[in-house]
C-alpha cells in the first residue's frame, strides 16, 4: 500500500532531500496552481530534523492515503519523522490515551463536543497567541471559525484550542439538469423561490422531493440536517448557538418554527415521492434514486456533499446531476448566506516544537491545495487558489464555503449524544409520523432535562 511504502522510505528520505522530493504528489515549483512560495517560506523557518511527531486522527482507508500525501510535504519541509495512526473507535481511543497520560502529539477530531470535554479536563494545549486573529483574517466567515475553535480550559478560561482543517458542506440541494431543462424549471436563488418551485412541480403533476430518513439504528438523522439548515435561515446564529447548548429549550418558538418549516416540505403527500409515509420508511441511501428514473420520480433532494457515493454507478456530478446552495430567505437579508456543515479540527495534545510546527503548516495554502487537487477536501481559506480543486463540483462547493457569511457545525453533533444522536432523531420520526412540532419539541426537551 502507498502508506506503508512512504513510511518505509521516510528515514532514507530525511537523509536525502531528492529522494523525499520524489515521493511528493506534486513536485514543488512545477505546477503554478499551487502556492509554492508558502511551502518555501514554511520550510525556511522550520528545520526540525531528528524530531518526531505522532498524529492521531479519524481518517482511514483512502482518506488516510490522501492525508499521508499532505504529511509528506511537512516531512520534506521540516525533517520531522511523522507517524499517523487511527482507530475504528477513534473517539474512545483518544479518551483512553489522554486519560492514561500517553496522548499523541496532535489529535484531529470531527466532534466539537469531545474536544470541549478534552479541553475542560486539561488535556489540550492552547494554540499560539494570535490564532484567533489569523482565523478572522484568513477564513471566510472568520468569526464562525474562531467560535468553533474556542473552548473553556480546566481553569474555565476560554482560549483557541483547535484549528479547523478539511470541512464538509451540508447545505446542498441536488437535481438533474436535464430534468429541469425538459420541464422548464430554473434553479432557485431564494427560499421563497424554492418553495414556489416546489408548488409548481406539484401543480405540474410531478413530485418535487425525494426524502428518506431511514438509516438503521440512526434513522431520523437526515431530518436533523433539514431542521438545522432551516434554523440558520429563519433565526440568527446566536439563536442557533443557544439552541444547541440548551440555552433555549427545544420547544422554544424559534425551534418549533424551524421544525414546521421542514414539515412544509416533508409532511405533504403532494410534495414527496411515495407520500409522507415513505419519508421515514425510505433509507437515505436509496432516497436520491428517484432523481434518475425515467420519468423522474422527484426533482429535488437535500443532502450533504457525500451523497454522490449513492448515485447510480457512472453518474458524473456537474453533468448528469448537479447541486445548488440551499438558499436563504429574501425576506431575511440580515441572516446572509449561512452554511451548515461539519469538519475536522486539529489540536495539540502534547506541546512540542514539532506539534506547534504542524499547526503552523496547516496555515499554509499548500497544506490545503495539495488535498484540494485530489479529492474530498473543502476549505474556507481565502488565500488558496480555487483552481487547484480537482473538479468543478469541488470548486463550486468550495465557493459556497468562501461565500458563507456564517458557518455552523451540525447541531446534533454539538448536542449531548442522548439528544443529538437519540431523542432528536426519534422525535423527527414521530413528527413526520403525525405528532405536532410542539409535542415533539416538548418530548425532546424532557429528554434533555433528564440528563444529569
pLDDT number for residue 452 = 75
Q: Are residues 200 and 306 in the same domain?
A: yes
Q: Are residues 297 and 430 in the same domain?
A: yes
Q: Are residues 56 and 139 in the same domain?
A: yes
Q: Is the peptide bond before 136 cis (omega within 30 degrees of 0)?
A: no
Q: Are residues 211 and 326 in the same domain?
A: yes
- Alpha-carbon span 321 to 293, nearest angstrom: 12
Q: Are residues 359 and 287 in the same domain?
A: no
Q: Are residues 72 and 177 in the same domain?
A: no
Q: Are residues 20 and 55 in the same domain?
A: yes
Domain containing residue 67:
2-169+342-409
pTM beyond 0.85, yes or no:
yes
- Alpha-carbon span 213 to 428, nearest angstrom: 9
Q: Are residues 159 and 178 in the same domain?
A: no
Q: Are residues 282 and 216 in the same domain?
A: yes
Q: Are residues 85 and 160 in the same domain?
A: yes
CA-CA-CA-CA dihedral for 289, 294, 298, 299, to nearest 10: 100
Q: What is the CATH number of the domain that holds 19?
A: 3.40.190.10
Q: Are residues 317 and 255 in the same domain?
A: yes
pLDDT number for residue 13 = 35
Strand intervals (E) in 193-275: none
Domain count, the chain: 2
- Alpha-carbon span 368 to 388, nearest angstrom: 9
pLDDT number for residue 20 = 41
CB 348 within 8 A of CB 106: yes
Q: Are residues 27 and 68 in the same domain?
A: yes
Q: From first to last of its 452 residues, what are the pLDDT tens digits of the chain?
A: 333 333 333 333 333 333 343 389 999 999 999 999 999 999 999 999 999 999 999 999 999 999 999 999 999 999 999 999 999 999 999 999 999 999 999 999 999 999 999 999 999 999 999 999 999 999 999 999 999 999 999 999 999 999 999 999 999 999 999 999 999 999 999 999 999 999 999 999 999 999 999 999 999 999 999 999 999 999 999 999 999 999 999 999 999 999 999 999 999 999 999 999 999 999 999 999 999 999 999 999 999 999 999 999 999 999 999 999 999 999 999 999 999 999 999 999 999 999 999 999 999 999 999 999 998 899 999 999 999 999 999 999 999 999 999 999 999 999 999 999 999 999 999 999 999 999 999 999 999 999 97
Q: Which of the 8 DSSP states describes residue 293?
A: S
- Residue identified by cell 430518513 is 213
Q: Which helix (H) or strand (E) holds 408?
A: strand 406-409
Amino acid at each position: 500500500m502507498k502508506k506503508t511504502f512512504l513510511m518505509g522510505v521516510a528515514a532514507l528520505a530525511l537523509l536525502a532531500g531528492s529522494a523525499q522530493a520524489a515521493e511528493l504528489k506534486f513536485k514543488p515549483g512545477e505546477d503554478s496552481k499551487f502556492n509554492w512560495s508558502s511551502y518555501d517560506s514554511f520550510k525556511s523557518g522550520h528545520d526540525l530534523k531528528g524530531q518526531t511527531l505522532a498524529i492521531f486522527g479519524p481518517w482511514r482507508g483512502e482518506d488516510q492515503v490522501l492525508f499521508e500525501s499532505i504529511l509528506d510535504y511537512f516531512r520534506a519541509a521540516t525533517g520531522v519523522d511523522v507517524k499517523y495512526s487511527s482507530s475504528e473507535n477513534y473517539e474512545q481511543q483518544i479518551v483512553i490515551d489522554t486519560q492514561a497520560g500517553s496522548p499523541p502529539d496532535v489529535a484531529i477530531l470531527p466532534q466539537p463536543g469531545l474536544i470541549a470535554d478534552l479541553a475542560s479536563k486539561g488535556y489540550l494545549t492552547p494554540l499560539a497567541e494570535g490564532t484567533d486573529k489569523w482565523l478572522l483574517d484568513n477564513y471566510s466567515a472568520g468569526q464562525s471559525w474562531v467560535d468553533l475553535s474556542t473552548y473553556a480550559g480546566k481553569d474555565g478560561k476560554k482560549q483557541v484550542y483547535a484549528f479547523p482543517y478539511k470541512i464538509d458542506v451540508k447545505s446542498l440541494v441536488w437535481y438533474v439538469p436535464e430534468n429541469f431543462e425538459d420541464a422548464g424549471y430554473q434553479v432557485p436563488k431564494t427560499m421563497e423561490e424554492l418553495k414556489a418551485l416546489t408548488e409548481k412541480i406539484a401543480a405540474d403533476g410531478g413530485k418535487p422531493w425525494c426524502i428518506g430518513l431511514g438509516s438503521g439504528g440512526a434513522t431520523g438523522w437526515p431530518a436533523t440536517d433539514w431542521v438545522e439548515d432551516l434554523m440558520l435561515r429563519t433565526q440568527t446564529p446566536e439563536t442557533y448557538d443557544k439552541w444547541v447548548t440548551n440555552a433555549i429549550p427545544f420547544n422554544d418558538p424559534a425551534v418549533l418554527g424551524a421544525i414546521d418549516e421542514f414539515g412544509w416540505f416533508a409532511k405533504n403527500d403532494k410534495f414527496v415521492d411515495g407520500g409522507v409515509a415513505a419519508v421515514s420508511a425510505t433509507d437515505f441511501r436509496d432516497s436520491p434514486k428517484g432523481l434518475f428514473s425515467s420519468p423522474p420520480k422527484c426533482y429535488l433532494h437535500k443532502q450533504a456533499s457525500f451523497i454522490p457515493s449513492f448515485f447510480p454507478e457512472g453518474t458524473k456530478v456537474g453533468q448528469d446531476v448537479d447541486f445548488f446552495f440551499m438558499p436563504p430567505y429574501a425576506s431575511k437579508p440580515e441572516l446572509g448566506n449561512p452554511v451548515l456543515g461539519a469538519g475536522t479540527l486539529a489540536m495539540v495534545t502534547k506541546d512540542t516544537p514539532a506539534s506547534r510546527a504542524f499547526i503552523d503548516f496547516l496555515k499554509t495554502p499548500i497544506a490545503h491545495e495539495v488535498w484540494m487537487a485530489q479529492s474530498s477536501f473543502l476549505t474556507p481559506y481565502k488565500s488558496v487558489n480555487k483552481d487547484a480543486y480537482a473538479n468543478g463540483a469541488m470548486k463550486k462547493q468550495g465557493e459556497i464555503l468562501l461565500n458563507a457569511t456564517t458557518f455552523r457545525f451540525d447541531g446534533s453533533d454539538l448536542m449531548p449524544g442522548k439528544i443529538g444522536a437519540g431523542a432528536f432523531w426519534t422525535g423527527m420520526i414521530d413528527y413526520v409520523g403525525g405528532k405536532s412540532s410542539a409535542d415533539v419539541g416538548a418530548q425532546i426537551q424532557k429528554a434533555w432535562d433528564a440528563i444529569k
